[in-house]
Amino acid sequence: MLVGALADAGADPEAITSAINSLDSGAVVSFEKVKRGGIGATKYHVAVGEAHAHRHLSHIIKMIEKGELSNRARRNAIAIFRRLGEAEATIHQTSIEKVHFHEVGASDSIADIVGAAVAFDVLDVDTIVCSPLNVGSGTVKTQHGILPVPAPATALLLVNAPVYSRGPAAELTTPTGAAVAVTLAERFGVLPAMKVLRTGYGAGTHEFPEQANVLRVIIGEPTGAVEALQVAVIEANIDDISPQVVAYATERLFEFGALDVMLSPCFMKKGRPGYLLRVIAKPEDREALAQVIFSETSTLGLRLYAAERRVLARTITEVNTPYGKVRVKVSGEGGYAPEYEDCKRLAVASGVALKHIIAEANLAYMNLTTGSK
């Protein structure tokens, strides 16, 4: 479905077909315009002459290395297969060298993975942002028998990725699709700020009565506009812990990837003074940070909810002060602020008060932008 969507968005089908043919994998691919739920889409067909040949990772890598692919497409395809191999090895408790890839190593999945890598390369895509993944529900028939959805390899690959289950009782995210997403996506979340250039729809095989069985890609260019980011908010009320422990917990939360941590004094039940601890986090870091709060504080419960934040586009400019170099963060709206850690480092090294270092950095940036000396 992904390859079909990328072709629908403008990736040259002949370039994809030529790359697959150069692998000599036994797969023959073609593209067809179809409709799913009334939406026009491109169906990527993969015909395989052999019945699910089992291959090791080394065999697949050699096949890809000999294929007529660009360096970027070859590198991405191999990285995806390595990710799959690691997941399969973990699930089956064996080494990656001994993994028989079964479905994911068969010719059709090779065509899927290499086709996606080639299509992204043909479209000259630099950054990939993926929405949360609908994994589906029910069961799926595999070489290892009937398994629950998501399949074990899919579930392992999607650790820390945002997922949900909605719609038909079917496998909506395969191990192959999961491996492509987690390997190539820079991040998961809401649609980034961009100028939309093209869209494309890739068709699945089945027709679902309640929804169109399509995958959509949106191709665009960054605009530098305010960016909307999906975040997770984690909150806890704490009234029976020392300030030293709370301060240490705050440091640990930042170490584990918190975007921001806030402590607000509050009065709780029975008039007890306490703290409201609020953590802003990337969705994929939510569970790890929740565990840090449970481990490092005395709270017995947390509140977790999704939110959006707006982030201005920013750049970093380096300025010279009498005490050394300082990085300055500059927003798209013209606001600026010296980097605190740089100023702190210079203050410690020079013995000059921090406020004077910050003032010198502000002056240096103003002189730089106005051309003064």
Query: Which residue range forms the structural domain that includes residue 171?
Result: 2-222
282-318 residue pLDDT tens:
888 899 999 999 999 999 999 999 898 877 777 899 9
- Is the whole-model pTM more than 0.85? no
How much is the pLDDT for 371?
Answer: 73
Please name which of 106, 24, 96 lies closest in space to residue 58, comparing C-alpha atoms: 96
Q: Does residue 295 share a domain with residue 239?
A: yes
The C-alpha atoms of residue 310 and residue 18 are separated, in whole angstroms, by 43
Q: Give the pLDDT confidence score for residue 227 in this predicted structure.
A: 62
For 48, the token pair is 């395989």
Backbone angles phi, psi at 259, to 5 degrees: -75, -35
The string of pLDDT tens digits covering residues 207-248 is 999 999 999 999 999 876 666 678 899 999 999 889 899 999
Domain boundary residue, one of 311, 327, 356? 311
**CATH value at residue 304:** 3.30.70.1380
Nearest 5°: CA angle at 223, between 219 and 224?
Answer: 135
Residues 91 and 237 in one domain: no
Do 73 and 171 lie in one domain? The reply is: yes
* CB atoms near residue 207 (< 10 Å): 12
Domain co-membership, 299 together with 342: no
Residues 151 and 284 in one domain: no
- Indicate the pairing of strand 324-331 with strand 139-142: unpaired
How far CA 78 is from CA of 25, 159, 172, 205, in Å, comes to 15, 21, 24, 26
For residue 254, name the pLDDT band (cuts at 50, 70, 90).
very high
The confidence score (pLDDT) of residue 9 equals 98
d(CA 166, CA 168): 7
**CA distance readout (Å), 310 to 136, 229, 322, 338:** 31, 6, 35, 21
Long-range contacts, stretch 45-50, CB < 8 angstroms, 24+ apart? 46/107, 46/108, 46/111, 46/112, 48/106, 48/107, 48/108, 49/107, 50/26, 50/107
Residues 243 and 330 in one domain: no
Domain co-membership, 184 together with 299: no
The edge-to-edge listing of strands for the beta sheet with 324-331 is: 314-321, 324-331, 336-338
**Distance between first and last Cα of the chain:** 59
In this structure, the answer to whether residues 14 and 154 fall within a common structural domain is yes
Q: How many CB atoms lie within 10 A of CB 247?
A: 11
Is 279 within 8 Å of 234 (Cβ atoms)? yes
Residues 99 and 117 occupy one common structural domain: yes
Give yes or no for residue 120 having a pLDDT over 70: yes
The SS3 call for residue 228 is strand
pLDDT attached to residue 270: 85
Domain end residue (candidates: 163, 188, 222): 222
Give Rg (Cα) of the chain: 26
81-96: per-residue pLDDT in tens?
999 989 988 988 888 8
Give one word for 368, left, alpha or beta, with left for phi > 0 and alpha for psi -120 to 50: alpha
- Please state whether beta strands 214-222 and 194-203 pair in parallel, antiparallel, or not at all (unpaired): antiparallel
pLDDT at 55: 78
- Number of folded domains that form the chain: 3
Identify the DSSP state of 22: T
**Per-residue pLDDT tens over the stretch 345-372:** 999 999 999 999 999 999 999 998 887 6
Name the phi and psi angles at 162, rounded to 5.
-75, 125
The whole-angstrom separation of Cα 362 and Cα 351 is 19
Pair (40, 113) in one structural domain: yes
Distance (Å, rounded) from C-alpha 337 to C-alpha 242?
33
Tokens (6 digits) for 43: 């169906």
Average pLDDT estimate for 118-131:
96
Do 302 and 349 fall into the same domain?
A: no
pLDDT of residue 226: 61
Task: For residue range 18-67, list pLDDT tens digits in order.
Answer: 999 999 888 999 999 999 999 999 999 999 876 555 678 888 999 999 99
Sign of the four-CA dihedral 194, 186, 163, 255: negative
The verdict on 18 and 145 lying in the same domain is yes
The predicted pLDDT at position 224 comes to: 64
- The 8-class DSSP code of residue 134 comes to E
